[in-house]
Amino acid sequence: MALTACGGDDSSDDTGSDAGSGSEAAAGKIGVILPDTESSVRWESADRPALEAAFDEAGVEYDIQNAEGDAERMTQIADTMIGNGVTVLAIVNLDSESGAAIQEKAASQGVATIDYDRLTLGGSAEYYVSFDNTVVGELQGQGLADCLGDKKANIVFLNGSPTDNNATLFAEGAHSVLDGMSNYTVVGEQAVPDWDNEEAATIFQQLYTAADGKVDGVLAANDGLGGAAISILEGAGQDGKVPVTGQDATVEGLQNVLAGTQCMTVYKSATQEAGALADVAIALVNGEDAEVTGTTVDSSDDSEVPSILLEPQAITKDNVGDVISDGGQKAEDVCTGDFADLCAEAGIS
Ligand code: BGC
């Protein structure tokens, strides 16, 4: 049944409904649970608005919530959403175990599930929507190698959360590039629980001290972890001298790239990812098969999950403007204060 659409969307922050202009409004309701607000600013600053735009455009009812880093809270939100009649539930799991339990319960109530961004190992999601996360890691590894060049270099790896399958793939991708380069030595490597930025600074400080400060490059898995490493390098007067990688093309990450304290970041368009999620969710609501790019193997049981995997893009000083022209960030947010001149130099206005 088509829902009537009216021009404006007067819905509250986290719920939307029938505001679409599209003619094929779906008669279902989509629930999305984002993981937290701290492991990356992307979830609230990029994903939420992109998801709202995609669902509004499709004219489908939705409810987007954030679990605030608490798996129990995610479970409760899922229960409430199911009680409120969502037909499709997409989650960014906080760990595979709790994610799989949420999906199992949803399935028992006839609710289809989608893994958004992170694959739930041992889960039962009908589809997985993400970027090619191994390629993300490869771009980071290659980016760091490009910044370091041919010299001999000691590298520290600051990996993402051990409970995030993506973090495993990022590290694998980066290792696949860097381990083959005989001039590099990995002198420290640690995963950062929950991608916690403060803990990342502590961990990096320890790795840095253990290596006697002989660290020439840092493979940091996202911009938040990169920022943590940069803060420690700054204390040692080494910021800008030791290349650091990142991911998410956050405002801070892009500013660090422009300032030269971060060697690169990885841009993953939230508009693309949210749009892909909306397409898949609407297909499920309509009882149709979604178009996929392939399957992803769940390493816990070798099952294959139909997937849409998008292409990430490496960003260095030379192409920060690409993120802005693609709508990934606004120039007015990146080019504040001291960054105005750096933006002008980089041709960003
Ligand atoms: C996402 C990254 C994000 C990280 C921390 C990963 O699963 O793919 O984009 O930076 O989680 O939230």
On average, the pLDDT of the chain sits at: 93
Q: Which strand (E) or helix (H) includes residue 189?
A: strand 184-191
Q: Which residue has the tokens 């006839």?
A: 110
| pLDDT band at 23; cut points 50, 70, 90 | very low
Which of 128, 134, 168, 195 for mutating ligand 1's site (highest number of atoms within 8 Å of CB)? 195
Q: Is pLDDT of 5 > 60?
A: no
| C-beta separation of 176 from 143 below 8 A | no
Beta-sheet pairing, 184-191 with 153-159: parallel
Token readout for 110 is 């006839």
Cα 314 to Cα 141: distance, rounded to the nearest angstrom: 11
For 162, what's the count of Cα atoms within 13 Å in the CB-facing half-sphere?
5
Token readout for 223 is 């911009």
First to last CA, the chain: 46
| C-beta separation of 118 from 165 below 8 A | yes
- For ligand 1, whether the C-beta of 126 sits within 6 Å is no
- For ligand 1, whether the C-beta of 40 sits within 6 Å is yes
| pLDDT band at 259; cut points 50, 70, 90 | very high
Using a cut of 0.85, tell me whether the model's pTM lies above it. Answer: yes
Lowest mean pLDDT among 15-29, 143-157, 208-222: 15-29
Nearest CA, atom 9, ligand 1: 248
CA angle 16, 21, 23 (to 5 degrees): 115
The pLDDT value recorded for residue 319 is: 97
* Helix ranges (DSSP H) in the chain: 42, 48-58, 71-83, 96-108, 133-148, 165-178, 197-210, 223-235, 251-259, 270-285, 320-325, 331-334, 339-345
Work out which ligand 1 atom sits closest to the CA atom of 35.
Answer: 12
One-character DSSP codes across 224-248: HHHHHHHHHHHHTT-TTTS-B---S
Cα 50 to Cα 6: distance, rounded to the nearest angstrom: 20
Cα 78 to Cα 32: distance, rounded to the nearest angstrom: 9
- For ligand 1, whether the C-beta of 130 sits within 6 Å is no
The pLDDT value recorded for residue 168 is: 98
| pLDDT band at 27; cut points 50, 70, 90 | confident
| Per-residue CA distances from 307 to 3, 54, 63, 64, 129 (Å) | 29, 19, 23, 21, 6
| Per-residue CA distances from 203 to 194, 195, 199 (Å) | 13, 11, 6
Average pLDDT over residues 228-247: 98
Which tens digit of pLDDT belongs to each residue from 132-186?
Answer: 999 999 999 999 999 999 999 999 999 999 999 999 999 999 999 999 999 999 9
Work out which ligand 1 atom sits closest to the CA atom of 248.
Answer: 9
Which tens digit of pLDDT belongs to each residue from 93-126?
Answer: 999 999 999 999 999 999 999 999 999 999 999 9
Q: Is pLDDT of 265 > 70?
A: yes
Average pLDDT over residues 267-273: 98
